[in-house]
Structure 1
Amino acid sequence: MDFNRLFLSAIAAGVAITTTTPAQATELASWQFDASQNQLNFRTTSNVQPTAKLIPNPSRLVIDLPGTRLGRGTMRQSIGGVIDSVRAGQFNAQTTRLVVELAPGYTIDPQQVQFTGHTPNQWSVKLPTPVQTTASSPVQGSIAPLQVTRNGFFLHVNGEQADVAVNRSRDRKQIAITVNGIKLPQQGKQAVNRYGVESVDFQQVAASTARLILNVTPNSPDWYASASSRGLAIVPSGGMVTLREDTEISTPETIVSLPDNSHVTIPVPPPQSRPTPPAQPTPRPTSPQPRLPSNTRVMVTIDPGHGGRDPGAIGLGGLREKDVILPISQEVARILERNGVTAMLTRADDRFISLRGRTEMANRAGADLFVSIHANAVGGGRSNVNGAETFYYSTGYDLAQDIQSSIIRNTGMNNRGVKRARFYVLRNTAMPAVLVEVGFVTGRTDAARLASPAFRSQMAEAIAAGILNHIR
């Protein structure tokens, strides 16, 4: 008997194991999590090659079975303890998804997750013992510790008048960030162990000059910093890729950018050779666009992305995505209400709401349209990248076109076009849905505009005009 063993490589935000899509669809015949062995067992009616990724916050192991159908609704097995539950669902028409959800505050070592293909259609997934996640140790006595974000790090100090210089040592083990114009609340060392940064030394080298020493691994990228009245944002050159649960990966061999910015290539041989279907271009959606009700009041769900503990992207001058899009979303809702449209905000203040919570809110309310509002970002210090773009998945194409056209016409922003994407909020809403990127918080031109309340009002008016044009 041949055993095909797959191992997840070390990750924090996600690494995917991928392979060739099978030529024929099959069905998930059975699955069960054996709590006594900490092992998930599953069997399909014919050959399948799993793909997998580990996703944090909350930690969960996501296993996709390409070319496989579930044949029923989502099923869940409650486990209890550090393994909360396991669920099986139909991710899309061609993929069944198994998700092992860990209890809050726990994670697993991805290097110890072991996939075993006993046969091409019978697999087991052995999980290591979950361990508690540990937050970064704060600087002793500090009132403003370094905060780990999805983009890098953020230090809460007043850096409005600060001047920043970044230098890397010749042995590439240290990165010195010298900031003129700030005073640290406390000197000392903070353990980090994230993104290839082992620790940070805080030094007040003069009355108004502070220095942060990033002790990094040799393969850590270069870092750059930007100061503002909100604080000091520290991000890696080239940015970071975070795999979310709605990410679909379909290449036989994937190079993934890890949170510590190293790159790992994971070739996964399938149990048996299968032909690879040719890639097909993404067509314009052919499904009919649903007609809006003509004799009732239209309801539009406005979804300001991120919020609460999730600041979203952090751009130039410490500009945070969540601070940009909430006032825009609130004004869009007010304009729609003034024009006889019922507007429902998924959040009206700075709070965190899950992706599932957002879509369920819209679906339960019976909304006619769903508009998610975000701001974009790009790494590598590419401040020349600017512009607005709008995404759809299926029936939202016409709505996306109306909103994007209105934004470009009314704001004069660089037109990055209308694009198809598989974002969770677009795939899991029962009405035409779009995701609007109002500009780049990392763009030299866009960041200055998005920081302006006057421009945010202009953007809100443009989005609302596009929605109203679509309704009418």
Structure 2
Amino acid sequence: MRNCWLLLSVLGTIISALPAEAAKLTSWQFDTNQNKLVFSTNDGVQPTAKLISNPSRVVIDLPGTQLGKPTTHKQIGSAVKSVRAGQFNAQTARLVVELEAGYTIDPQQVRVVGNTPNQWSVQLPNPQRAPGSTTRAIAATSNPNFQITQNGLYVRLDAQQTGTLQTQRSKDGRQIAIDLPGIALPSALAAQNLAVSRYGVSSVQFTQISPSMARMTLNVTADSPDWQASFSRFGGLVLVPMGGMRSIRDSNPKPEFSTPVANTPPSVVNIPVPPPRNPLPPRVSTPTPPRVSTPTPPRVSPPAPPQVSPPTRTPSPSLPTIPNSRVLVTIDPGHGGRDPGAIGRGGLREIDVVLPISKDVARILEQQGVKVQMTRSDDRFISLGGRTRMANGARSDLFVSIHANASSTSGGNGLETFYYATGKGLAQSIQTSIVRRTGMKNRGVKQARFYVLKNTAMPAALVEVGFVTGSSDAAKLSNPAFRRQMAEAIAEGILNYVKRNNL
């Protein structure tokens, strides 16, 4: 017996000496609108940060963390050149935000904030020209679908549209957004950030928000004029400054040459990183009470009174139930607030279709034992980045975005579901359930580079529940009973996926 205890003691010593499993960098994204880097790990970490010159870059090291995948590199454009993630050494993952040559930032204005030990953000100030430095002018883009003209900008689109488009300028005056309803961006433009550096425009971003909505964002100087966007009768999109070229002070300086900055030795400035604000929330559901065996009494007892539960919490017998579930699903009703989405037959608006469907999906999932978070539960505007940050920050297991489609003709009808990477199985499960329950035309499951699919760290799907412009779909989507049927079908698809994958 003594030898047995000795053996256990030795084994315990060996096990305690083994290195703990490293944390992993699970997701990161750079929000160009806010100049903010957001990243997540699957376990707590205390980052370190520093500003290194020549070229200027902010370096964030994550001790005890593995990248878990090959080095990734994302071109940003404008004053922020790129962001990359790599494995600095065996024990440290590294994130680097590199600025364009000749730009720098004040390290005292960099804010590194940990909402929890595994959810961090790095807020950068606006980059400024480095004192005494000169840089080359940024070359015009060679993208075949984008041209800088003598009068403004031209975008070649695979669509014949007419009319003038609405533009919206941000409160700080540095961004102008143009929504393009009914437009699918060419592959050469989708998810691109193109350098301009002319006419007060530093860069242009293209985003495919949904199959029926694209967005073009101009990053401009605060004192630049507003821009007007209209479809050309020859095809494509024309953008010109309000007031013409006389209102523009060309922001593209002529190339200047000086001693390369690389001749100056690099300097390093440490950036303070305070501890995270909140402890890591445990992902534990209400514990199940321990089972205690007791002698079974004779099976003679008075009839039990009927059990009555609140109607909103009664599981549907026709849907899978997930008992004691720890699964968290984020439901994302598309558009909202100042962004009504697609507008179809009889003035039917996308937001008036997807919000009630999304609410019913959330209610049904909760009835069946699944935890739900909604990106919005009323008619308000939430940015695309805000939606993905909400899902990533809550460590959701699944993300489902609900939209309605639109077409330039009334012949477009039917259902389609999109995924980007890991969400294919989820998309197929939802599509199958909706087609079976509603009998809608099946337009298939497709891969797409939509922002909310690319920038969520969990399996994600985007459902187009039909066409608000469709000759048959619009009448269905206007009907509250059909919308409830649609919600039950979407919820069933999610529940089937959860059950099949033992989440």
TM-score by length of 1: 0.45
Higher Rg of the two aligned structures: 2
The structure with the largest strand share of the pair is 1
